[in-house]
Structure 1
Amino acid sequence: MGATAAGVEPDYQAVLAAPGFRLGVRCDDDEIHRIAFLPPGAEVAPRNALAAETVRQLVLYLADAEHLFGLPLRPSGTSFQRRVWQQITAIPTHQTRAYGEIAKALHNAPRAVGQACGANPFAVVVPCHRVVASGGGLGGFARQNGGFLLDVKRWLLAHEGC
């Protein structure tokens, strides 16, 4: 999810700097394969039209949390993960849901919802940052319980006024 051992970014078609992090875009000409959170560093100019459109929409979101994405996301994940991501995408901007709330709606366990959130390949577009622990705690983020990714989650939630 970050730089390779040699310090070179994996094959991203674009990398956009954001406050305290970057967003790496992997795509072909037709579909987004992944949008990943990366540690701060250099940007990479878009290498194709879809990467440029993705960066354009991410910039709009970073300027205005109300921006609604319209990007062609490559189908991925298990059936259960896709159901979780559908629930998460339905959470309105400025709101959060607890892992347990989503689990109850899907008749499953909160831990399974957390695992599906961690497997989300479309950072920001499928807003897993809006899923928090019961009692208002942050919970994990992108399969991490600490480090810069929790700072990213805090920033995203503050950006959205949560």
Structure 2
Amino acid sequence: MSRASSEAGSARMSVNTPVGVLSLTEEDGAITRVDWQAGGVDDTPLLRQAREQILAYFAGERRAFDLPLRVEGSQAQRAVCAAMLEIPHGETRTYGEIARDLGQSAQAVGRACGGNPIPVLIPCHRVMGAGGKLTGYSGQGGVETKIALLRLEGAGGFLI
């Protein structure tokens, strides 16, 4: 059963996770947003698939997502999101490493990470400060959520 969304071509579904209720937004056949604002009640094949993949991820049964994603934003924002998607499950990279690869400043990469519209699915939690230093996280719960996601993936052995 599908319920129409207030925005044409847009649907939204919420899913309960260990890091809070995540709401997934689908627009024209791609996931365009994940946020911590409950309220999505739409039901589409893509949203169901995304929900199942997120639940499997939190159950430790999935290491990567196989979903159509669309990042709206500048070319630099899209490039940083693409670089984050390349970071393997359980591994981290620094802002500086990504900046060097993309020819951007570490600060610009940090801003793009903070503006990631599809957190968890695009793993901005895998990006660390210089020397692997734990830095902030823009999602609900801030650094604690970042730590929970890294622990789930077995990343950063220094995170006891």
Q: TM-score range by the shorter chain?
A: 0.7 to 0.9
> 1:37, 1:123 within 8 Å by CA — same for their partners in 2?
no
Return the match for 1:160 from 143, 149, 153.
153
Change (3 A) 1:92 1:20: closer
> What TM-score results when the alignment is normalised by the length of structure 1?
0.80
Change (3 A) 1:47 1:29: farther
1:59-78 Cα offsets, whole Å, 9 max, x none, are 11111264321111124121
* Gapped regions of structure 1 (runs ≥ 5): 1-10
Superposed CA RMSD in Å reads 2.2
Equivalent residue, structure 2, for 1:31: 30
Moved over 3 A (4+): 42-46
Partner Cα separation in structure 2 for residue 126 and residue 46 of structure 1: 22
SS for the counterpart of 2:77 is helix
**Are residue 92 (structure 1) and residue 85 (structure 2) matched?**
no
SS for the counterpart of 2:144 is helix
Percentage identity across paired residues of the two chains: 36
Partner Cα separation in structure 2 for residue 47 and residue 29 of structure 1: 14
Q: Which amino acid aligns with 1:82?
A: R
**Number of residue-to-residue matches in the alignment:** 146
**Are residue 48 (structure 1) and residue 44 (structure 2) matched?**
yes
Partner Cα separation in structure 1 for residue 28 and residue 74 of structure 2: 24
* Gapped regions of structure 2 (runs ≥ 5): 1-9, 156-160
Equivalent residue, structure 2, for 1:19: 18
Partner Cα separation in structure 2 for residue 20 and residue 135 of structure 1: 26
Q: Which amino acid aligns with 1:123?
A: P
SS for the counterpart of 1:23 is strand
**Are residue 71 (structure 1) and residue 67 (structure 2) matched?**
yes
Change (3 A) 1:29 1:81: closer
Map of 1:133-152 to 2, 5 A cutoff? 133-142=129-138, 148-152=141-145
Q: Which amino acid aligns with 1:95?
A: E
Change (3 A) 1:12 1:19: farther
SS for the counterpart of 1:15 is strand
